[in-house]
């Protein structure tokens, strides 16, 4: 049940509406969790009902009104309790890896196309995370920021996201190169 804790963690920095949260969790700014809008609206309702967050209506002239949520003391306590719990190990679960596992038995062309697309996707995320990290540390160097900065949690998770996507990109490119070379060798026979 980490979704609720992910939401609480996301609301630590600023008040957000469901819609704003959804954008953050969907478009990859969520370097530490992923969720769809529907999940978020449902969980926000639950969290408010349980008193872990509190919402306030914000009336807007030009746009539909919205509700901004912030973490309550009870929410902070719950987050602390969660952090002290033993964490489960995390596992990779990726369609693309399954396909590559079967690479010797399936259509190579389709695989190459998907690996290429994934590499581009990873590259886009890298740029995003890079910009985000730079924005967070401001004028400070990384070492300096991590020593003296106020809020380093998001920076650390951003670094993990960056490295993960770099790994993704590089692996995809390598796999494409390998598959292409084998394709060429096969054609020559």
Partner DNA sequence: GGCGACATGTAAGGCGTTACATGATTGC
Partner DNA sequence: GCAATCATGTAACGCCTTACATGTCGCC
Binding site for DNA (CB under 7 A): 1-3, 17-20, 22-23, 34-39, 41-42, 44-45, 60-67, 88, 93
Which residues are CB-contacts of 58 (< 8 A; sequence separation ≥ 6)?
A: 17, 65, 66, 67, 68
Contact criterion met (CB below 8 Å) for 136 and 155: yes
* Least distance CB 140 / a second copy (angstroms): 14
Q: How many other C-beta atoms lie within 10 A of the C-beta of residue 31?
A: 23
Residue 88 near a second copy by CB under 8 A? yes
- 110 in contact with a second copy (CB under 8 A): yes
29 lines the binding site for a second copy (CB under 8 A): no
User: Binder to a second copy among 22, 31, 129, 137 (CB under 8 A)?
Assistant: 31
54 interface partner picked from a second copy, DNA, none, CB below 5 to 8 A per type: none
Three-class SS of residue 70? strand
Q: Does 120 bind a second copy (CB under 8 A)?
A: no
Contact 53, 69 (CB under 8 A): yes
CB 173, min distance to DNA, A: 25
| 59 makes contact with a second copy (CB under 8 A) | no
d(CA 24, CA 19): 9
């Amino acid at each position: 049940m980490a979704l609720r804790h992910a939401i609480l963690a996301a609301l630590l920095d600023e008040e957000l509406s469901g819609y704003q949260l959804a954008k953050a969790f969907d478009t990859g700014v969520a370097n530490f969790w992923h969720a769809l809008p529907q999940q978020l609206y449902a969980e926000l309702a639950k969290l408010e009902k349980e008193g872990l967050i509190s919402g306030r209506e914000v009336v807007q002239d030009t746009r539909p009104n919205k509700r901004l949520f912030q973490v309550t003391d009870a929410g902070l306590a719950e987050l602390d309790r969660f952090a002290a719990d033993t964490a489960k190990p995390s596992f990779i679960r990726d369609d693309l890896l399954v396909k590559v596992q079967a690479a010797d038995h399936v259509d190579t062309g389709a695989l190459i196309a998907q690996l290429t697309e994934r590499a581009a996707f990873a590259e886009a995320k890298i740029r995003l995370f890079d910009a985000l990290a730079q924005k967070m540390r401001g004028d400070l160097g990384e070492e300096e920021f991590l020593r003296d900065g106020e809020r380093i949690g998001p920076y650390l998770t951003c670094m993990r996201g960056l490295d993960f996507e770099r790994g993704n990109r590089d692996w995809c490119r390598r796999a494409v190169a390998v598959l292409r070379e084998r394709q060429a060798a096969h054609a020559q026979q």
